[in-house]
């Protein structure tokens, strides 16, 4: 059971972005890291999967079901896209914002189970103490954690996270990625995460998809993609990869001098 991207093409006006890209067997229960330099289309790919953009050709299917054939409500329940630009402006409390995400598209009053689930997710992310605070009073990192709570509380089948740790300190980055990993594995969902930190991505992802030149330039286990020529060509730097004593990969990038 997996996500499949088939012959997907898309471009903005006067700017083609993807040309018939393919990715098969993006598995449930595993984190897939979508990597590549700025401007290659990581966010756009997520928006295409979420149905926020319409492809010029091709399809995205979950367990052989074409997502474009799902009604808006069903697709809304199935896929959650968390943008890197959270930008919360509503003068609501953290609890209310996350509860609204939980109830989005479901209608009716919040049940005891809904309230319990919101409390559980806030505690898992270590922000339960912020429950009554207006989201507009929070720091950028705290707002990012609230955005993550909105994603997790929905219990989607496909979770698309665009730079979910960019505003977080080192400890929070590890805590959030560990939580994403636990939720992905325990709930058997498809999780795609766009990250610039290749070392962090390699620590948690089972698969790397490298975007570049309108295609998937490399696709495979982190150590294979990071050790290949495509990663250096995509970023325009030299990359040295070494497995350290903890078993994780250390990634060192350097500028090549003439």
CATH classification of the domain holding 182:
3.40.50.300
Q: For residue 163, what pLDDT band results from cuts at 50, 70 and 90?
A: very high
Which pLDDT does position 239 carry in this prediction?
Answer: 92
Average pLDDT over residues 116-145: 91
3-state SS class at 75: helix
Which pLDDT does position 40 carry in this prediction?
Answer: 92
For residue 16, the enclosing domain spans 2-254
- Of all residues in the chain, what percent are helix, strand and coil, respectively (each to 5)? 40, 30, 30
Average pLDDT over residues 60-69: 91
- Does the structure show a pLDDT above 80 at 65? yes
Which pLDDT does position 91 carry in this prediction?
Answer: 78
- Does the structure show a pLDDT above 80 at 257? no
Contact 218, 208 (CB under 8 A): yes
Distance separating alpha carbons of residues 156 and 175, to the nearest angstrom: 20
Contact 5, 178 (CB under 8 A): no
- Does the structure show a pLDDT above 90 at 49? yes
- Does the structure show a pLDDT above 90 at 86? no
Distance separating alpha carbons of residues 231 and 75, to the nearest angstrom: 33
Average pLDDT over residues 131-138: 90
Which pLDDT does position 87 carry in this prediction?
Answer: 62
- Does the structure show a pLDDT above 90 at 188? yes
Provide the whole-model pTM: 0.92
Q: For residue 1, what pLDDT band results from cuts at 50, 70 and 90?
A: confident
Number of structural domains (the chain) is 1
Burial 137-162 (b: 16+ CB within 10 A, else e): ebeeebbbbbbbbbbbbbebbbbbbb
List Cα–Cα distances, 87 to 185, 188, 208, 240, 258, in angstroms: 29, 29, 28, 36, 42
Q: Which range among 50-54, 68-72, 101-105 has the greatest average pLDDT?
A: 50-54
- Does the structure show a pLDDT above 80 at 243? yes
Which pLDDT does position 88 carry in this prediction?
Answer: 65
For the chain, the average pLDDT equals 90
- 129 phi and psi angles, rounded to 5 deg: -70, -15
Distance separating alpha carbons of residues 91 and 39, to the nearest angstrom: 33
């Amino acid at each position: 059971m997996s996500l499949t991207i088939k012959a997907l093409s898309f471009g903005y006006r006067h700017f083609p972005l993807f040309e018939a890209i393919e990715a098969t067997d993006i598995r449930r229960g595993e984190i897939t890291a979508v990597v590549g330099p700025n401007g290659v289309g990581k966010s756009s790919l997520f928006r295409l999967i979420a149905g926020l953009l319409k492809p010029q050709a091709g399809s995205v299917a979950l367990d052989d079901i074409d997502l474009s054939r799902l009604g808006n409500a069903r697709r809304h329940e199935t896929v959650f896209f968390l943008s890197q630009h959270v930008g919360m402006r509503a003068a609501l409390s953290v609890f209310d914002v996350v509860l609204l995400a939980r109830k989005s598209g479901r209608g009716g009053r919040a049940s005891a189970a809904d309230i319990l689930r919101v409390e559980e997710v806030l505690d898992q992310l270590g922000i339960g103490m912020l429950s009554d605070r207006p989201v507009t009073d929070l720091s950028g990192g705290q707002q990012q954690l609230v955005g993550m709570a909105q994603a997790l509380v929905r219990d989607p089948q496909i979770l698309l996270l665009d730079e979910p740790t960019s505003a977080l300190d080192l400890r929070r980055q590890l805590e959030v990625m560990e939580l994403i990993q636990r939720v992905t594995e325990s709930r058997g969902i498809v999780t795609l995460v766009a990250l610039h930190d290749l070392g962090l991505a390699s620590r948690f992802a089972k698969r790397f998809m490298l975007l570049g030149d309108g295609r998937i330039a490399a696709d495979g286990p982190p150590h294979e993609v990071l050790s290949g020529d495509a990663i250096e060509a995509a970023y325009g730097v030299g990359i040295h990869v070494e497995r350290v004593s903890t078993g994780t990969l250390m990634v060192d990038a350097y500028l090549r001098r003439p």
